[in-house]
C-alpha cells in the first residue's frame, strides 16, 4: 500500500519510449505512472518537483551487480538492480533469494538472479523453479563459466521450460585457468598470468549452440571481444534468443589501463585490446549489445591493495554507469533514447519488470538528469562502499539531479532553472 | 676499464631513481652507469681483503617472500662487504604466514627504519606495491614473472667483460620464457644496450606478443642458435606452471637441451650462460655447463655480488648524503 502523496514532475523534457523528447510533466499515483505529456498538470495535494527544463528519464535498471550498495545506485540514478548470485552465501536456495528480493525496499528494487548450480560450482542444478517462486527473475551462472557442456545443456532445457533467461559468464574456464589479464604485450611486459581473448568466443560459441538446441534464452553479461560480438550478431540474425551486455569499462578502456599493476583495472573478464574496445563500441551502435550494466562490485583495500594477480577483480561502477554511457551519445555512437534502452528498458524487459520506460501504467521509477553537467570522478569521495574505479580523477558529464522510486522521492538536488 | 659506449652526467643525475624495481624505465646510460660502478667491486672482490665501510651504520633488510638461496646470499654478501648491517627476513619465519597483508609487512619494515629493502616475491608487481609505500630505496630481487633487474645487470656485466660491446651482439635466450622474470629483464636490458635478442621456447612457454619487446621469436632451437654470440639458457620453472606445458623433461631435452653438438651452431667463441640453478641433463648438458673458457656460469655469480654492491651503494647515496648526491 503506497500512502505517499501523488507525484508530479513538472516542466521537464520527457524521454519517451522510442526516444522522442517532449516538454511536459509526468504524474504518478500509488507507485505507477498515470499521466505523461505536455498537457499534464499537478493536482491539488500532489508533491511537485520542478525539473526546470532538465531531462526526465526512467530510473536505470542495472543488470548483474555484485553488491546492493544503495548510496551508489541512487547517486547513479539506478532504481533497480539484478543481483548476481555470487554472494558470501550464494543465491542458490529459495530462502536466500526471497530475502535478497526484499533487501532493497522501499527505495530500491533488488531482482535476485537465481544461481544456476548449487554453490555455483557448475555441477548440480539448483532449485530454479522454487527460486522463481521466491522472486528470481532470471538465472545466472555466476562469475564463472559452466565448464561441463552436459550440465549447461540440462540447465538450458530447464530454464527454457520455466521461461527464464540464463545470464552467462563467457570465458572458457580451461583456457582461462588462473589468468588475470588478456594475453598480449601488456600482460607479457608485466609478467601477469594471461589467457587469449578467444576464450570468450569459445565460450559463446558453445553456449549459443546449446541454447539453440534447448530453445532457451541466453544473455551474455559481458561480451568484450570482436570475435564474441560477431557470434552474438550472427545468432541474432538467425533469430535465436541471444542477447548481450557490456560494462562501460570495456568501451572506455583497453588493457593499457593495467599498466603499473593498477588493480582497480583488474576486471573479470579482463580488459581487452584496443581493437576489441572499438568492436564493443561498434556493437553498441549496431544493436548487437542490448544492455549496459555497471557490474558494480565495490572492493576495499583488503581486496585491491595487493599484488595484481592476488587482488580481486571488479570495479565500483554504479556512479559512472550513466555518464560513461552518455559519452557514447556525445560521440554520436547512439542517440540518447537508445542509451536509456540499454540502461533501463532492455534490462527491465529481460527481467520481466514493468519498468525502465516512461509510459502510463509502468512503475514510477523516474530520474531527472542533466546529461551535460560536468563532474570529476574521485575514488576517495564516492558514494559507493568502496572507491575502486579505474576512472579515478577522470572528468565526466552527466549527473542525476533527482530520483524517484515508485513515485516516492529518493534524492533531490536543488535544480537551478535553465 | 671498458671503453665508454655511453656517457652520463656527474653526480646524482647519473641515476635519478629512488629504487630499482625493474630495467623498464632505465635509460641505456643509466644501465651503463651501474655497470661502470660495479667494476670497482669486481676488483675489490678479487682481493683477500674485501671489505669497505661504505654503508657503515646503514641497515639493509632482505625481505624474501619466496624461497631463494643464491640471490639472498649474493645480496647478503654484497651488503656485508660494504659494511652495512644486513638482516634477512625469510617467509618461513615471518607473520606473512599468519595472514598479515603484504602492505602491513612493508609498513612494519618501514617503521624499522631500514636504509634499503631488498624484496623478492612470487607475485608480479608486488615489489612496486611495496616501493610505493615505504620511504627507503627498494631493490627488486625478483617479482613473480615480471622482473629481476640485478640478474639482467650482472648478465650484462658478464657479457661486457667477455665481449666488450653490445651493439649487434646476437644473444639467444632459450627456455621457459613465459614464466621467466630473468628473460624479461634481460630482454629489456640487452635490447636497450643495442644487442639483437632472440628468444626460443615451445609455443606453450612463449608469452604472447613478445616480439613487441624487440626480439626475434624462435621455436626451433637450432635455428635460434645459428650464429649466436651468447647463449643464455633458462630453467624450466615447474613450480610456476599451472597445468602441463611440456610432455616430459626428456622430450624437452630432446628439443631444447644445450649439447655440445647444438652449441657448435653458435659462434665458435659463443658464451654459455645460465642464471641458475641448473637442471643438468635437461636444459643444459654437463659438459657444456662446465666448458672452460666458454661457460660463464660461475662468472655470473661473481658479477652478481659486484652488481648488488653497486646497486646498494648507488641507491643509498641520497640517503647518506654522499658527495654530489646530497
A171-203: per-residue pLDDT in tens? 999 999 999 999 999 999 999 999 999 999 999
B210: contact with A, CB 8 A cutoff: yes
Residue B240 annotated as catalytic: no
pLDDT at A185: 97
* Chain A contact for B66 (CB, 8 A cutoff): no
Contact of B120 with chain A, judged by CB distance below 8 Å, is answered with: no
Instruction: Kindly state the average pLDDT of the residues A4-20.
Output: 95
A188, A190, A192: residue with CB nearest B209:
A188
Tens of pLDDT, residue by residue over A192-251, are 999 999 999 999 999 999 999 999 999 999 999 999 999 999 999 999 999 999 999 999
Is the pLDDT at B197 greater than 50, yes or no? yes
| Chain B residues 232-251 with CB within 8 Å of chain A | 242-243
Contact A400, A368 (CB under 8 A): yes
> Has residue B239 got a pLDDT over 90?
no
* Least-confidence region, from A318-332, B33-47, B224-238: B224-238
The answer to whether B184 touches B226, Cβ cutoff 8 Å, is: no
User: What SS3 state is found at A339?
Assistant: helix
In DSSP notation, B103-168 reads HHHHHHHHHTT-SEEEEEESSTTHHHHHHTT-SS-EEEEEETTTB-HHHHHHHHHHHHHHHS--TT
Q: Which of B121, B213, B242 sits opposite A307 (nearest CB)?
A: B121
Would the CA dihedral through A43, A49, A50, A52 be positive or negative? negative
- State the average pLDDT over residues B74-79: 98
With a cut of 60, say whether residue A258 has pLDDT above it: yes
In B175-204, the residues whose Cβ lies within 8 Å of chain A are 181, 184
Of B102, B128, B212, nearest to A185 by CB-CB distance is B212
Residue A309 has pLDDT above 80, yes or no: yes
Which residues from B are below 8 Å from A302, CB to CB?
101
* Helix intervals (H) in chain B: 28-45, 70-81, 102-111, 126-131, 149-163, 181-192, 221-225, 249-256, 260-263, 286-289, 297-316
Question: Among all chains, which residue has been given the C-alpha cell 544461481?
Answer: A115
A225 contacts A246 by C-beta, under 8 angstroms: no
Residue B276, marked binder: yes
pLDDT at A1: 43
- The answer to whether the Cβ–Cβ distance between A191 and B103 falls below 8 Å is no
Tell me what pLDDT residue B5 has. Answer: 78
Per-chain mean pLDDT for chain B: 93
How far is Cα A311 from Cα A314, in angstroms, rounded to an integer?
Answer: 9
Q: Inter-chain contact B184–A191, Cβ cutoff 8 Å?
A: yes
Active site residue B71: yes
Q: Kindly report the number of other CB atoms within 10 A of residue A412's CB atom.
A: 13
What average pLDDT does this structure show over A336-365? Answer: 97
Cα-Cα-Cα-Cα dihedral sign, residues B170, B176, B179, B182: negative
CB contact under 8 A, B125 and A261: yes
B148 flagged as catalytic? yes
Q: At what angle do helices B28-45 and B181-192 cross, to 10 degrees?
A: 110
pLDDT surpassing 70 at residue A414? no
Supply the pLDDT for residue A417. 46
Distance CA A367, CA A371 (A): 11
Q: What is the ipTM of this complex?
A: 0.93
Count of alpha carbons within 13 angstroms of residue B165, beta-carbon side: 5
CA distance A183 to chain B (A): 6
Distance CA B151, CA B74 (A): 11
Looking at the predicted structure, is the pLDDT value of residue B203 above 70?
A: yes
Average pLDDT, chain A: 96
pLDDT in tens, B133-144: 999 999 999 999
CA angle, residues B193, B199, B202, in degrees to nearest 5: 165
- Hey, is A312 helix, strand or coil? coil
CA pair distance A166, A239, nearest whole angstrom: 17
From chain B, pick out residues whose CB is under 8 angstroms from the CB of A307: 102, 121, 123-126, 129, 143-144
Cβ–Cβ below 8 Å for A310 and B123 = yes
| A11 backbone dihedrals φ, ψ, rounded to 5° | 55, 40
**What's the pLDDT score for residue B101?**
78
Report the run of H or E that residue A64 belongs to, with start and end.
strand A60-65
pLDDT for A418 equals 41
pLDDT, tens digit, 9 for 90 and up, residues B149-180: 999 999 999 999 999 999 999 999 999 999 99
pLDDT at B236: 82
What Rg, from alpha-carbon coordinates, does chain A have? 21
CA distances from A227 to A33, A72, B116, B212, B325 (A): 42, 33, 48, 23, 54
The response to whether B70 counts as a known ligand-binding position is: yes
Note if B321 is an active site residue: no
Going through A273-365 in order, the beta strands assigned E by DSSP cover 291-292
Cβ contacts of A229 within 8 Å, gap of 6 or more = A223, A244, A279, A280, A282, A283, A288, A289
pLDDT of residue B92: 57
Rg (CA), chain B: 19
Separation of alpha carbons A26 and A24, rounded Å = 7
d(CA A268, CA A265): 10
Q: What is the pLDDT of residue B208?
A: 97
Mutation pick from A307, A308, A309 vs chain B, by most beta carbons of B within 10 Å, is: A307
Which residue in chain B is spatially nearest to A308 when comparing CA positions?
Answer: B125
Residues A129/A135/A139/A141 CA torsion (nearest 10 deg)? -110
- Whether residue B146 is annotated as binding a ligand: the answer is no
- The whole-angstrom distance between A67's CA and the closest CA on chain B is 24
pLDDT of residue A412: 87
d(CA B270, CA A195): 36
Q: Which H or E run includes B86?
A: strand B85-90
Cβ atoms A238, A232 nearer than 8 A = no
Residue B326 has a pLDDT of 82
- B139, B64 in Cβ contact below 8 A? no
Question: B7, B97, B98, B101: which is the annotated catalytic residue?
Answer: B98
- Given phi > 0 = left and psi -120 to 50 = alpha, else beta, which region is B113? left
List C-alpha distances in Å: A114 to A221, B20, B219, B267. 14, 49, 48, 65
Contact B294, B270 (CB under 8 A): yes
In this structure, the dihedral spanned by the alpha carbons of residues A178, A182, A185 and A186, taken in order and rounded to 10 degrees, is -80
The residues pairing with A399 across neighbouring beta strands, listed in sequence order, are A370
The answer to whether residues A280 and A253 touch, using CB atoms and an 8 Å cutoff, is: no
Residues A73-82: pLDDT tens digits? 999 999 999 9
Using the beta-carbon criterion (under 8 Å), do A177 and B212 form an inter-chain contact?
Answer: no
Residue A329 near residue A86 (C-beta atoms within 8 A): no
From the candidates B121, B148, B274, B294, which is the catalytic residue? B148
From the CB of residue A167, how many other CB atoms can be counted at a distance below 10 Å?
Answer: 28
Is B70 labeled as catalytic in the residue annotation?
yes
Q: What is the distance in angstroms between the CA of the first residue and the CA of the last residue of chain A?
A: 36
A112-150 residue pLDDT tens: 999 999 999 999 999 999 999 999 999 999 999 999 999
> Quick count: other Cβ atoms within 10 Å of Cβ B144?
26
Interaxial angle between packed helices B181-192 and B149-163, expressed in degrees from 0 to 180 and rounded to the nearest 10: 50
Amino acid at each position: 500500500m503506497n500512502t505517499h502523496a501523488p507525484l508530479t514532475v513538472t516542466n521537464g523534457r520527457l524521454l519517451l519510449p522510442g526516444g522522442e523528447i517532449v516538454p511536459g510533466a509526468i504524474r504518478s499515483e500509488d507507485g505507477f505512472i498515470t499521466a505523461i505529456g505536455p498537457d499534464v498538470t499537478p493536482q491539488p495535494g500532489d508533491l511537485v518537483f520542478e525539473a526546470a527544463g532538465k531531462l526526465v528519464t526512467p530510473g536505470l535498471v542495472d543488470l548483474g551487480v555484485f553488491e546492493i550498495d544503495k548510496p551508489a545506485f541512487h547517486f547513479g540514478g539506478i532504481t533497480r538492480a539484478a543481483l548476481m548470485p555470487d554472494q558470501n552465501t550464494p543465491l542458490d536456495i529459495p530462502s536466500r533469494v526471497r530475502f535478497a528480493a526484499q533487501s532493497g525496499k522501499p527505495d530500491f528494487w533488488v531482482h535476485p538472479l537465481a544461481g544456476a548450480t548449487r554453490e555455483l560450482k557448475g555441477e548440480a542444478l539448483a532449485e530454479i523453479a522454487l527460486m522463481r517462486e521466491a522472486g528470481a527473475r532470471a538465472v545466472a551462472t555466476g562469475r564463472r563459466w559452466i565448464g561441463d557442456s552436459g550440465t549447461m545443456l540440462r540447465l538450458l532445457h530447464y530454464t527454457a521450460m520455466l521461461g527464464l533467461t540464463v545470464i552467462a559468464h563467457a570465458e572458457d574456464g580451461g583456457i582461462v585457468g588462473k589468468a588475470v589479464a588478456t594475453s598480449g604485450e601488456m600482460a607479457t611486459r608485466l609478467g601477469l598470468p594471461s589467457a587469449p581473448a578467444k576464450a570468450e568466443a569459445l565460450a559463446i560459441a558453445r553456449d549459443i549452440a546449446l541454447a539453440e538446441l534447448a530453445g532457451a534464452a541466453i544473455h551474455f553479461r559481458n561480451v568484450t571481444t570482436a570475435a564474441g560480438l560477431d557470434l552474438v550478431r550472427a545468432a541474432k540474425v538467425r533469430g535465436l534468443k541471444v542477447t548481450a551486455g557490456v560494462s562501460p569499462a570495456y568501451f572506455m578502456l583497453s588493457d593499457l589501463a593495467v599498466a603499473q599493476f593498477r588493480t582497480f583495472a583488474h576486471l573479470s573478464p579482463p580488459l581487452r585490446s584496443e581493437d576489441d574496445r572499438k568492436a564493443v563500441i561498434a556493437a553498441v551502435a549496431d544493436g548487437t549489445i542490448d544492455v549496459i550494466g555497471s557490474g558494480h562490485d565495490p572492493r576495499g583495500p583488503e581486496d585491491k591493495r595487493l599484488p595484481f594477480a592476488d587482488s580481486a577483480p571488479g570495479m565500483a561502477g554504479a556512479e559512472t554507469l550513466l555518464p560513461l554511457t552518455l559519452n557514447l551519445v556525445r560521440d554520436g555512437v547512439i542517440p540518447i533514447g537508445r542509451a536509456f534502452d540499454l540502461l533501463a528498458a532492455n534490462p527491465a524487459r529481460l527481467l520481466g519488470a514493468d519498468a525502465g520506460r516512461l509510459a502510463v501504467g509502468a512503475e514510477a521509477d523516474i530520474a531527472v538528469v542533466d546529461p551535460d553537467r560536468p563532474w570529476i570522478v574521485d575514488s576517495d569521495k564516492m558514494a559507493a562502499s568502496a572507491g575502486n574505479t579505474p576512472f579515478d580523477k577522470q572528468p565526466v558529464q552527466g549527473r542525476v539531479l533527482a530520483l524517484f522510486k515508485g513515485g516516492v522521492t529518493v534524492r533531490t538536488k536543488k535544480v537551478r532553472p535553465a | 676499464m671498458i671503453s665508454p659506449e655511453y656517457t652520463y652526467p656527474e653526480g646524482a643525475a647519473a641515476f635519478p631513481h629512488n629504487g630499482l624495481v625493474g630495467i623498464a624505465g632505465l635509460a641505456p646510460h643509466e644501465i651503463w652507469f651501474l655497470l661502470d660502478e660495479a667494476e670497482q667491486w669486481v676488483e675489490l672482490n678479487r682481493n683477500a681483503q674485501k671489505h669497505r665501510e661504505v654503508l657503515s651504520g646503514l641497515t639493509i633488510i632482505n625481505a624474501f617472500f619466496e624461497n631463494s638461496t643464491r640471490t639472498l646470499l649474493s645480496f647478503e654478501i654484497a651488503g656485508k662487504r660494504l659494511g652495512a648491517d644486513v638482516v634477512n627476513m625469510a617467509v618461513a619465519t615471518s607473520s606473512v604466514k599468519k595472514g598479515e597483508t603484504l602492505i602491513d609487512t612493508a609498513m612494519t619494515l618501514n617503521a624499522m627504519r631500514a636504509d634499503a629493502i631488498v624484496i623478492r616475491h612470487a607475485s608480479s608487481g608486488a615489489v612496486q606495491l611495496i616501493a610505493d609505500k615505504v620511504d627507503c630505496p627498494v631493490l627488486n630481487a625478483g617479482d613473480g614473472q615480471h622482473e629481476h633487474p640485478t640478474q639482467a645487470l650482472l648478465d650484462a656485466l658478464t657479457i661486457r667483460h667477455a665481449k666488450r660491446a653490445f651493439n649487434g651482439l646476437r644473444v639467444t635466450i632459450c627456455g621457459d620464457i613465459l614464466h621467466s622474470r630473468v628473460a624479461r629483464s634481460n630482454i629489456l636490458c640487452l635490447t636497450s644496450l643495442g644487442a639483437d635478442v632472440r628468444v626460443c621456447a615451445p609455443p606453450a612457454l612463449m608469452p604472447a606478443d613478445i616480439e613487441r619487446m624487440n626480439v626475434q621469436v624462435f621455436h626451433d632451437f637450432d635455428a635460434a642458435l645459428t650464429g649466436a654470440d651468447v647463449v643464455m639458457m633458462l630453467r624450466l620453472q615447474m613450480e610456476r606452471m599451472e597445468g602441463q606445458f611440456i610432455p616430459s623433461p626428456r622430450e624437452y631435452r630432446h628439443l631444447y637441451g644445450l649439447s655440445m653438438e647444438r652449441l657448435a651452431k653458435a659462434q665458435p667463441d659463443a658464451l654459455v650462460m645460465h642464471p641458475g640453478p641448473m637442471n643438468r641433463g635437461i636444459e643444459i648438458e654437463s659438459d657444456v655447463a662446465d666448458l672452460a673458457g666458454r661457460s660463464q656460469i660461475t662468472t655470473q655469480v661473481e658479477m652478481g655480488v659486484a652488481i648488488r654492491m653497486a646497486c646498494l651503494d648507488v641507491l643509498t647515496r641520497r640517503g647518506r648524503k654522499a658527495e654530489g648526491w646530497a
